[in-house]
Amino acid sequence: MTTDIIGKSRGIKARYPDRKERDLKSDYPIPQINTKIHYWFAENEQKARKADIKYMKEFFPDTVFGKYPDLGHAGLVLLKPELFAEKIRRL
């Protein structure tokens, strides 16, 4: 991902709009990994994370998702540090 001058994140498809998605995938292969990924997000930021979540589900299908209510971005760390610490210990 790159960031343009106003800070908006742009993926490969945004940088090469005339290229077919299948070509982009073969040009930028995702390496196989041997680790478990946990993706935690606040319920009220789910719409903003939609593209990220779709990407993770497509390229890392074993990702474990956690959605937390009543939190904003980084709210798990800032507002519920005990829960965050417990989640980290359980990994």
Q: In whole angstroms, give the CA distance from residue 83 to residue 11.
A: 32
Report the mean per-residue pLDDT for the chain.
79
Kindly tell me if the per-residue pLDDT of 1 is higher than 50. no
Instruction: Tokens 């998702």: give the residue.
Output: 65
Query: What is the number of H-type helices and E-type strands within the chain?
Result: 5, 4
Backbone dihedral region for residue 45 (phi beyond 0: left; psi -120 to 50: alpha; all else: beta): alpha
- Tell me the per-residue pLDDT of 51-66, one tens digit each, with 9 for 90 and over: 899 989 988 899 999 9
Q: CA–CA separation, 61 vs 63, rounded Å? A: 5
Beta bridge partners, 68, equal: 42
18-40, pLDDT tens digit by residue? 655 555 556 667 778 889 999 99
